[in-house]
Structure 1
Amino acid sequence: MTAIPVVEGRAIVQDYHVPGSMFSAAKVVRALKGIDFAVQKGKTLAIVGESGSGKSTLARVIALIDAPSGGELRIDGQPVDIRRQRPGPAMRSKVQMVFQNPYGSLNPRQKIGDVLMEPLVINTDVPASERRERAEAMLKKVGLQPEHFNRYPHMFSGGQRQRIAIARALMLNPSLLVLDEPVSALDLSVQAQVLNLLADLQDEFDLTYVFVSHDLSVVRYIADEVMVISKGEAVEQGSREELFADPKHPYTKSLFAATPVTDVEAIRARVARRKAARQAQPA
C-alpha cells in the first residue's frame, strides 16, 4: 500500500487580479498554472526557479497562508480549502513556515521566550509553567541556551535569529515545515550551520520539508526530490540525483548551467559521520 503523502497538491492554480488604471485595463495574472506535487513523510521537496517563477507563491499556498484560486490541497490525505473555511488549531499545528528574513520575522518588542511561547498560547491550553519549559527545551534543540529566553531579537546574529524562527515553527510539533529561502540572507559559513541543524531536526522529529530556494548548492545538499518551476508551471520533477545528473527540460538545463554549484558531498559526508558518532555514544 502506498503511503499517504504528508502534503499533496493537485492542479494548484493561483490568480492575482490587477486593477486597471487610466492607461490600462484590469487583468488577471496567473501565478501558478495547475501544479501537481506530493511529499512523503520525512522527505524534502525542493522548489527551485528564478525570481518571479511562482515558487514563493506556491510555498504560501502549502503553508495555508494564501488560498489557491483552483485545485486541491491535501494535508495528511485531508482536503484543505481555506477559501471556504479557515483551518482550526489542529490543522494549523501540522503546518508551519520559516521565512527568508530572520530580521523581519521576529517582533523586535518581544522577548525570545514570548516569541516561542506565543504559538502555544494561541493554539493550545498548555499551562504557563509548561510553556516556558517547552520553550527553553526548544532553544537547546536549535543550539541556543535557556538564558537566551529573556533577550530581545536585536541581541542575536542573523544565524541565531533564524534558529529562533525555526524553534518557533517547531513549538506546535508540526509534521510539515515550509521553508522559503531560509538561508539566503545568511553568510555562507552560517548557511552550512543552519542547513546542518535542519538536517538534524528532520531526523530527530521525522519532519517533512518543502524547501524553496534559488541556490542549487543548497538544494543539492538538502533535497530528496526537486521541482523546477518556470512562469508558474512545474517544468520538471524528479529525485535530486536524477535532476542533477541528467536534467531533461531546456529550462532546467539553462538554470543549472547559469548557476555555479559547489561540491556539497563533502559537507554531506561530514554530517553523516557526525550523526554516526553521536548515535554510537553511550546513553
Structure 2
Amino acid sequence: MKKTATELIMLGTGNATVTKCYNTCFIIKMEETLLLVDAGGGNGILTQLEKAQVQLADIHEMYVTHAHTDHILGAVWVVRMVIQRMLSKRYTGIFNLYSHAKVLQVLDYMLRMMLPKKQIALLGKQVLFHEIADKDVLRIGDMELQCFDILSTKEKQFGFRALLPDGKSLVCLGDEPYNESNRQYVENADWLLCEAFCLYEDREIFKPYEKHHSTALEAGRLAEELNVKNLLLYHTEDSRLDTRKKDYTAEASLNFSGFVVVPDDLEKISLK
C-alpha cells in the first residue's frame, strides 16, 4: 500500500505582534505521528487546532524552538489541556516535549506556578520534558530530527533538519536569519522554512534589521545560494494578508528559481 505523503499544517504564520492571523506554529503530520512545533502566544492554539481538525489526543510529540512569548505561551495551554484529558481518561499514552534547557526551565516554572496539584503530579510521569543539545539527533515516529543552535543574539533558539519518511529533508530555521555556521544543516534541503518579517520595500515601515529579522527578498537569495528546492515563508507582518501570497512570492522569486510557498493560517501543504 502506498504511504500517505507527509503534510505540513500551518496553524499560524504571523510574527509576535500580529492581530489578524495567529503566531507562527505548525504541525508535521506523518502517517502515524504528529509533531507540533511551537504553539503561538496563547490559547488561540486551541482554536487553530480545532479549525485544523487536529485532536489534542492525537498529539504526543512537541518541539519548542525558544522561549519568546509568541512561541511558548501556547505551549502552556497545550500541556494544560493534554493533562486535563489524561485525568479524564480522554488521552492515552505519553506526551513528549523537546527543547533546550532554557525553554524547559521556563515551561516547568510556569506550569508549576499556575496548575493545580493534581495536574502538576503528571509532570515527569505522563508529560515528559526532553532536554536537547546542539547537534542532537531525535527519532520521532518515522522522522529523524537533527537539532541545531541557530546562534541567536537575542534568545537561545534551536532549529532542526528533518529527514522525512520518504527521504526528503525539511529545515526549520526558527524565526531569525540564517547563520553561515549552520550551512551543513540547510544546504540542499528539499524544503526550507524561513522567516520573512516583511517585504524589502516595506523595510522602513517594519524595521526588520533592527529586530534581527529579514525580508522576503533576502529569504529568496538565501534559498538560491544554498540550493534549496522549495522555500516556505512565515513569521510575517499582517498588514498585507489579502495580497501576501502574491507579494511575498513575487519578491522572493526575484532571487530564487525554485518553488515559493507563502501559506495562510490553517493551510495544508503536501511535502512531496
Same fold by TM-score greater than 0.5 = no
> TM-score scaled to structure 2, two decimals?
0.35
> TM-score scaled to structure 1, two decimals?
0.34
Q: Which is helix-richer, 1 or 2?
A: 1
Which of 1 and 2 has greater Rg? Answer: 1
Question: Larger relative CO (CA 8 A, sep 6+): 1 or 2?
Answer: 1
